[in-house]
Structure 1
Amino acid sequence: MDEPAENISGGAAGGGRDTPFEPAADPATRAEAFVDRLGERYWQKAYGGQPAFECLVRTVLSQNTSDVASQPAHDALMDRYGEGDLAATLADADQSELADTISSAGLYNQKSETLVRLGGRVVEEHGGADGFDSFVKDADPGTVRSALLDMKGVGPKTADCVLLFSGGRGGVFPVDTHVHRIARRVGLAPADADHEGVREALERDVPAEKCGFGHTATIQFGREFCTARKPACLDDPEACPMADCCEQVGVYPETGEVVDPSEAPEASGD
């Protein structure tokens, strides 16, 4: 299957390498079996190698918006500010001009403030984009994650995306809204788990070399089949290629109702 060009995580802009893996003959966990099944349908890739600060910028731009909106914002930003050291350039950028440049991404005032602040911090602590790149790719992953989370405007998903798409770190499974929904709906994580709880469950139960692919493929599966309001199984169980390994937590084809897994009666034991 051709991967979608507009998908920043999994598409051509993601910087991944085609890296096939063999499905486990006897998967150790349901989560591994689920990812292996996704591997039969979607492109199998390994990730890493993106310039770390540009990856951070990309992920900030993608917050609370779609790739269709954030990709043009990224392209416009790089056209205007991409010459030389990106961190230093953004640190010195006029915030209002930057906001106008990235307006297609939504929340552009907030995001422009964040990017100026992040640029300044990276220059102060790492000397610029190159030093930050070396830090992300060479330092202990736990140290990198803690440092990223200490930056205002960087949450767990953003930090994990930098670790995965720039650092190429195995065992990192970023959790966005699609992953959070699907892992709980399928039954791979507790129905009431927050984003960190889902991440911990997936990183525990999915082999390290399959986590990056698992992240991007789960996102694509969520877009194509397991949508928030109308999953494919709602009208036709056979319409979803993963129906036989899903617990359908919060999805009720008999009534047409769909609720967040945390609100499902079976999640609370009612």
Structure 2
Amino acid sequence: MRDEEPAENISGGTAGGGQSAPFDPETAGTRAETIVDRLGELYWTKTYGGRDAFECLVRTVLSQNTTDKVSQPAHDELMARYGSDGGPASGGDTDADLARALADADQPELAETISSAGLYNQKSKRIITLAQRICEEYGGEDGFDEFVREGDPDEVRSTLLDMNGVGPKTADCVLLFAGGRGGVFPVDTHVHRITRRMGLAPAEADHETVREYLERDVPAAKCGFGHTAMIQFGREYCSARKPACLDDPDACPLAGHCDQVGVYPASGDVVDPSETV
């Protein structure tokens, strides 16, 4: 196990939790758990929770349809201007409520602040709408944080999905990174691709079906790490167009656990697993 979390494993970030979670492939009860445990031998393992729920929601909205590399600066700029560190939009108040600051934000100014994240007009309007709802229904970020941490998980997820612009992955990320909820396995494009490519879920499965398979087959305490580790594995080894196994089977550390659905080393072709059905 590495001593430090890899820099690229940023879905949880340095604020995403802090307790190491040891995994052992020899004791895994399912194939999916074995793969997550093998990833635990590659990457720094941790449990998640503890992030501010509203900030986590904002950060996830910023990351939609873009990469962490470009959404992170947008998040940093937003927090510098509107966050509780006493930024200009907070009037220097270090106790400022982020949700209230964003609910009252000037939309063009917010759009300019988060412009590096792409789709900034759409995202700025979405963030302001979310902030206004959270202020109206929960009194601000503290009330929302309490709801996410202590509310019934199904009710929290349903409420999040009812919010404008919040899809299943965003809702699950808030439950995981803010609420610290066990058994939550957010499914992004990397997880969706890898799970079907490996044969852990049906080739034609949509994101929700993949989530159901993973949350069924991976122990609750390992789901959070499984999410972040699969993202990193997808970036390093199992990319959409050029998976490591395409030219050299030994180049992939999970080669012995993968069905290679949609990957054809003999011809060099790679297709989405759904196209093999």
In the aligned structure 2, how far is the partner of 1:22 from the partner of 1:106?
37
Secondary structure of the corresponding residue to residue 183 of structure 1: helix
Pick aligned residue for 2:268 from 236, 240, 256: 256
The question of 1:203 aligning with 2:204 is answered no
Match of 2:161 in 1: 149
Match of 1:8 in 2: 10
Q: Counterparts of 1:1-270 in structure 2 under 5 Å?
A: 1=2, 2-5=4-7, 7-12=9-14, 14-83=15-84, 84-264=96-276, 268=277
In the aligned structure 1, how far is the partner of 2:249 from the partner of 2:185?
28
In the aligned structure 1, how far is the partner of 2:257 from the partner of 2:26?
16
In the aligned structure 2, how far is the partner of 1:225 from the partner of 1:111?
31
In the aligned structure 2, how far is the partner of 1:49 from the partner of 1:201?
26
Contact 1:186–1:248, Cα closer than 8 Å, also in 2:
yes
In the aligned structure 2, how far is the partner of 1:254 from the partner of 1:6?
31
Contact 1:10–1:217, Cα closer than 8 Å, also in 2:
no
Secondary structure of the corresponding residue to residue 45 of structure 1: coil
Q: 5+ unaligned residues in a row in structure 2: which ranges? A: 85-95
Instruction: Give the direction of change, closer, same or farther, for the CA distance of 1:149–1:10 in structure 2 (3 Å limit).
Output: same
In the aligned structure 1, how far is the partner of 2:8 from the partner of 2:102?
25
CA offsets per residue over residues 157-208 of structure 1, 9 Å max, x none?
Answer: 0000000000000000000000000000001111100000000000000000
CA offsets per residue over residues 205-239 of structure 1, 9 Å max, x none?
Answer: 00000000000000000000000010000010000
Contact 2:12–2:48, Cα closer than 8 Å, also in 1:
no
Per the TM alignment, residue 28 of structure 1 is displaced from its structure 2 partner at its CA by 1.9
Q: TM-score, normalised by structure 1?
A: 0.95
Secondary structure of the corresponding residue to residue 196 of structure 2: helix
Q: TM-score, normalised by structure 2?
A: 0.93
Contact 1:7–1:67, Cα closer than 8 Å, also in 2:
no
Contact 1:181–1:261, Cα closer than 8 Å, also in 2:
yes
In the aligned structure 1, how far is the partner of 2:42 from the partner of 2:28?
17
Secondary structure of the corresponding residue to residue 26 of structure 2: coil
Aligned-partner residue type, residue 34 of structure 1: I
Per the TM alignment, residue 7 of structure 1 is displaced from its structure 2 partner at its CA by 4.2
Secondary structure of the corresponding residue to residue 181 of structure 1: helix
Secondary structure of the corresponding residue to residue 112 of structure 1: helix
> In percent, how many aligned pairs have the same letter?
72
Per the TM alignment, residue 29 of structure 1 is displaced from its structure 2 partner at its CA by 1.2
Per the TM alignment, residue 9 of structure 1 is displaced from its structure 2 partner at its CA by 1.1
Aligned-partner residue type, residue 167 of structure 1: G
Length, aligned pairs only: 264
In the aligned structure 2, how far is the partner of 1:34 from the partner of 1:7?
17
Secondary structure of the corresponding residue to residue 57 of structure 1: helix
Superposition misfits of 4+ residues, deviation over 6 angstroms: none
CA offsets per residue over residues 222-269 of structure 1, 9 Å max, x none?
Answer: 0000000100000100000000000000000000000000002xxx2x
In the aligned structure 2, how far is the partner of 1:109 from the partner of 1:158?
19
Per the TM alignment, residue 6 of structure 1 is displaced from its structure 2 partner at its CA by 5.1
In the aligned structure 2, how far is the partner of 1:191 from the partner of 1:247?
11
Secondary structure of the corresponding residue to residue 56 of structure 2: helix
In the aligned structure 2, how far is the partner of 1:22 from the partner of 1:246?
19
In the aligned structure 1, how far is the partner of 2:227 from the partner of 2:207?
13
Per the TM alignment, residue 24 of structure 1 is displaced from its structure 2 partner at its CA by 4.9
